[in-house]
Each structure stands twice: as C-alpha cells, then as structure tokens.
Amino acid sequence: MVGGVEEHLTVGRVAELAGVTVRTLHHYDEIGLVRPSARTAAGYRAYAAPDVERLREVLAYRRLGFGLREIADLVDDPATDAVARLWRLRGLLLQQRDRAAAMVTAMDRELAARMRGIRTTPEEQLKVFGAQLYDTIGSAYPATRRTEPRIAARIRDALGDARTVLNVGAGTGSYEPADRDVVAVEPSAVMRAQRPVGAAPCVAASAERLPFADRSFDAAMAVSTIHHWRDPVAGLREMRRVARRVVVFTYDAGGTDRLQRFWLTRDYLPEFTGLLTDWPSLADLTQAIGGRAEPVLVPWDCADGFFEAYWRRPEAYLDDHVRRAVSVWTKVGPQAERRAVDALREDLSSGRWAERNRHLLALDAAELGLRLLVA
C-alpha cells in the first residue's frame, strides 16, 4: 500500500506492479482516466496514493470486461463514495468468480462423463451459461439475509409438532428449526457451499422433483424461495406429496394494489410488476397445497434483509450490499436499479421521501403482501 503523501510511484514502477505496459498508463493519462498527480524530484509525473486507488479500480473493471468509457462513468460516479464503489466492485468480482466456479464444475462433470465414454447433450453444454441465478448472486446473500425471529416464530407455530422437516430452497439455512430433524433441499452449489458447519444435511435437488417417497416427512417448509422456482405450483404439489404438513413463506403477487402498497415499487421501481407477470395467484398457490394464506406483517426492524425489509429504513436501499442480497435488483437490471437508487437518494436528501411517507414512521409493522401459506 502507498503510504504518506510524499510517497509516490513512477510510471515504470506502477506498470511493473500492476502488470500493464507503460503505454497503457500513458493512454489512461491522455484520455483523463487516471492522471498521475504527483511529481518526482526530477519533475517527472508520479502516482500518489489516490491515483493508485483509482487505477486499481480501473484495472479491476478492465479485468471484468468493461469498456474504458463505461469505466470512466463508474469511477467518476458522483453518487457513490469510495467505500460504496469498493462494495460494488467486490460484488461484481464475486459474481465473476461464482460464474467461473459453476463452469469449472460443469466441465469437470463433462470430463468425468467423457472418460466413461458418455457424451454430454447440446442442452447440457449450454445449460451452464444460463446457470441458476443463485449461482451468480448467492455469495452476496449472507451479508444481510438472516433469520427474523418474529417470522421464525410464525413458521415454528405452523410446523406444530412435526419432528421431521424438509426445507425446500433452503439456501444457507435461515429459518431451519434447530429442534427438529431437518433435511434441506437446495439446487445452487454456491448456496450449499455457504451453509454453516453443523447445518442440516442438504440434498442437491429442485422443488419440482423432490427425490423423496410420498409422505417421507412430517412437514415441508419453503421460505422466500417459491418465486424462484421454474414451476411453483408443481413444486408446491411435490411438497404436499412428500409431507403431511406444508408451510410456505411467500408474497401475494395479485391485486391491483401490488405496486401501490410499497413506496419503493410505487415511486421508484415500477419495473417490479414486470417480474410478476407469470406469477401464479395466491389462490393457485394455496390450492396446490390444499391450504390457506395468512398475512405476515413486516416488522420495522426486520432482521432478514429481503426486498420489503427496510420499508421504514429507506437509506438502507442506497447500500449496494443490501441490494445485492435481493434478487429483485438483479432481475430488473442495472439501468432501472441505478435510476431508482438515484431518485431515492435525491428524495431522501430533499425531504420529499419523508413528506410522502411520514405516516410510516408511526408504524411498528407493515402489511406489504407477505403471506404464510399453511396446509
């Protein structure tokens, strides 16, 4: 790390350390991307600590495949500070690492199959590029996603006296009751790898095809996951098949007020409705398990950082690591995300958000469409 103000690095030394050519550094200087601001004793341009910091960011974005013009926008983004930019970069690097890890796993599988004389199908060869969403965003999950005790209590009550419990779409294991005999099901390798030591055994499978016999469990639970399933109704039927009781924490995507009930979607992220177009109605979901739906209010200080969790703490949505742990932001795409966040930041600093949402500050919990399905 570059130390005090006097410490600076010559262009040659910087090139050597960073593994780039001096020509590249001169080019960055010419186009104004990274301008060395210090001078050596002999009057040559030299890189001071802030220049090196900026260069590090530029080189990381280069390595991620961004073009120089895009990089200039990212590093000069006036809306973010240095720490927020590091979080963003870190998230992108982790995504790239996870994607590469998923491809290596798929290739190892193919090499092993070829050694046994088995050829992979064209579908299998392409599947890795459309890898599970959670294989790319999953590593950001544990930063803010954890068990919310009041929701956990509702789930525990609904599980009743069930001794054996199947947790479908289990992720890193939030909400798994420690006092029952739990088996987890999770299709994403990245999520499985983040399950803590001592967590319940986890099977690599999907809800739509549970590898268990009929009625193998007292209860099956699924938390914040069915909106990711390819076929939620088929998955719920599978849960019903393998368990006597079913408990599902999910979201009611129906009703004309679905955009209106949360200020974030109403005023900043109307793209959210686009994510719900093919989503089954609450009636279809409850019918699939033969059960009922109960509202779950979101406490103002909700410990599980899901999309609606910060309804009374709007500043949280400005944090990149809060957003990276929620798939909605990845699904709406970077443009909608940036626009929504910029508008929210502006409204928070101008007092407009407070003006519109003052009434929320008096509430301890809010009805935002979250439901517990119980059968």
Question: Which residue is nearest to ligand SAM, using beta carbons?
Answer: 171
For the CB of residue 187, give the shortest distance to ligand SAM in the complex, in Å.
5
d(CA 279, CA 309): 21
Residues in the chain: 375
| Segment 226 to 255, residues that bind ligand SAM, using CB under 6 A | 228-230, 235
Q: Shortest approach of ligand SAM to residue 243 CB, angstroms? A: 15
Considering only residues 34, 137, 151, 191, which one is a binding residue for ligand SAM as defined by CB under 6 A? 191
Residue 1 structure tokens: 């790390």
Write the DSSP symbol of residue 142: G
Nearer to ligand SAM, 136 or 286 (CB): 136
Interface positions, 137-166, toward ligand SAM (CB under 6 A): 145
Q: Does 369 bind ligand SAM (CB under 6 A)?
A: no
- Residue 350 to residue 108: CA distance in whole angstroms: 54
Contact 214, 242 (CB under 8 A): yes
How many residues contact ligand SAM, by CB under 6 A?
23
CA-based Rg of the chain, rounded to a whole angstrom? Answer: 25
Residue 279 in contact with ligand SAM, rule: CB under 6 A: no
Q: Are 288 and 240 in contact (CB under 8 A)?
A: yes
Task: Check binding of 132 to ligand SAM (CB under 6 A).
Answer: yes
Report residue 334 CA to chain centroid gap. 13
Task: List alpha helices for the chain, DSSP H.
Answer: 11-18, 22-30, 49-63, 68-75, 82-115, 122-127, 133-137, 149-159, 189-193, 232-242, 263, 282-289, 320-324, 327-332, 334-350, 352-357
Among positions 80, 174, 250, 265, the unique one binding ligand SAM when judged by CB under 6 A: 174
**Residue 170 lies near ligand SAM (rule: CB under 6 A):** yes
Which residue of 80, 95, 136, 225 would you call a contact of ligand SAM, by CB under 6 A?
A: 225
Out of 175, 263, 310, 329, the only residue in the binding site for ligand SAM (CB under 6 A) is 175
> In angstroms, rounded to a whole number, what is the distance separating the alpha carbons of residues 74 and 52?
16
d(CA 326, CA 228): 12
Least distance in Å: CB of 228 to ligand SAM?
Answer: 4
Q: Report the nearest approach of ligand SAM to the CB of residue 233 (Å).
A: 12
Q: Torsion angle, CA of 238/241/246/249, rounded to 10 degrees?
A: 0
Work out whether 134 is an interface residue with ligand SAM (CB under 6 A).
yes
Closest CB 205 distance from ligand SAM, rounded Å: 7
Give the interface with ligand SAM as residue ranges (CB under 6 A): 132, 134, 145, 168-171, 174-175, 186-188, 191, 206-208, 223-225, 228-230, 235
